[in-house]
Amino acid sequence: MTAMVHGSVPVRDVEPVLPKWWRTLDKVTVTCILALFGIGLLLGFAASPPLAEKNGLDPFHYVERQLIFGGMALVAMFATSMMPPQLVRRLAVLGFLAALIAVLALPVFGTDFGKGAVRWYRLGFASLQPSEFLKPGFVVVTAWLLAASQEINGPPGRLWAFVLTGFIVVVLALQPDFGQASLVFFGWAVMYFVAGAPILLLMGALFVVMLGGTFAYHNSEHVARRIDGFLNPEVDPTTQIGYATNAIREGGFFGVGLGEGEVKWSLPDAHTDFIIAVAAEEYGLVMVLVVIALYATIALRSFYRLIKERDVFIRLAGTGLAAIFAVQALINMGVAVRMLPSKGMTLPFVSYGGSSLIAGGIAVGMLLAFTRTRPQGQIGDILRGHRR
């Protein structure tokens, strides 16, 4: 009777948020991330007690903190992965602006913790490295600018993205933090290439970077020391690279055994920058290959899913996030085996570090949000949408 008087009301078949999220999520990537976090905890039990003993702390103090920060990172990852791309973009822009302000204020309020580079804020209970949070926000903002430039009568997004990248690279290099600066530049180059940039333009940008590196080598003792150490054919066995190289050699194929490694007692950064050396010594080449396979799986699956994506912004942002994630892992492991100069860069989800873990969780959460399966529509519908 009610339907007769007021008319029938159509019932919308709306799928609940959690089932829809789980159905569209890349579960293999999530499994690989959880595996990396588990390996990081396992290696933390081996690598962190020597540092804790040196600092007069409980033997598993750093493991407990890694578990706390890792839990926060996983919560951030899952929460971000549930968001629609538009909400991810809005929040990323706000996060990018906040992180950029924090990076610019480092010379006044930051500290170097005796490492020669002002990269952190001392918070009492922990430290904060704002450049870690700057990267994912930068990728999303740059992808937005590049995508907007492809629209009819769109803004000069490519020029704005280039200027923004140059500004951030210079700011990070002045800290000095050439590792993060190189990641930012690499992320821009990958997205610019995917967006259809001319190869000659990218080669020109690379040439400018080489000139900047040459200038930094001749004017920065910090850079010159690292480059000279990398180019020196003789490895000083008492340096971090020397200890790491020896640990990898001693580990062999299956490692010396759980808790039997020696490098963790010599390396001050065994639980952070050189965690892969601990893995290689105690668990051997097998563990290293497992870690490499996990990172490769995350990157390749992300690229495969993004190839099918027709939304330009989502494709560019996802590609940039996946590329930076994979290259950061590659740089960390490359430094440990002396294929690259020392960069002071963590191994994502494996190394100890609150800022690195939480920022990594946010970045991977964005990547999972962008790579969720979603209806792509017909190409004609998309073209008509651009004409409106």
Angle CA(35)–CA(41)–CA(45) in degrees, nearest 5?
A: 145
State which of 53-62, 114-123, 219-228, 276-285 shows the largest mean pLDDT: 276-285
* Among the listed residues 59, 50, 70, 39, the one whose alpha carbon sits nearest the alpha carbon of residue 279: 39
State which of 1-15, 93-107, 245-259, 338-352 shows the largest mean pLDDT: 93-107
So what's the pLDDT on residue 236? 62
Q: Measured between alpha carbons, how far is 73 from 88 in angstroms, rounded to an integer?
A: 16
* Among the listed residues 126, 142, 146, 122, the one whose alpha carbon sits nearest the alpha carbon of residue 134: 142
So what's the pLDDT on residue 380? 43
333-355 confidence digits (pLDDT tens): 988 888 887 777 889 999 988 89
117-174 confidence digits (pLDDT tens): 788 898 877 889 999 999 999 999 999 999 999 888 889 999 999 999 999 999 998 8
pTM: 0.88
* Among the listed residues 219, 357, 235, 374, the one whose alpha carbon sits nearest the alpha carbon of residue 305: 374
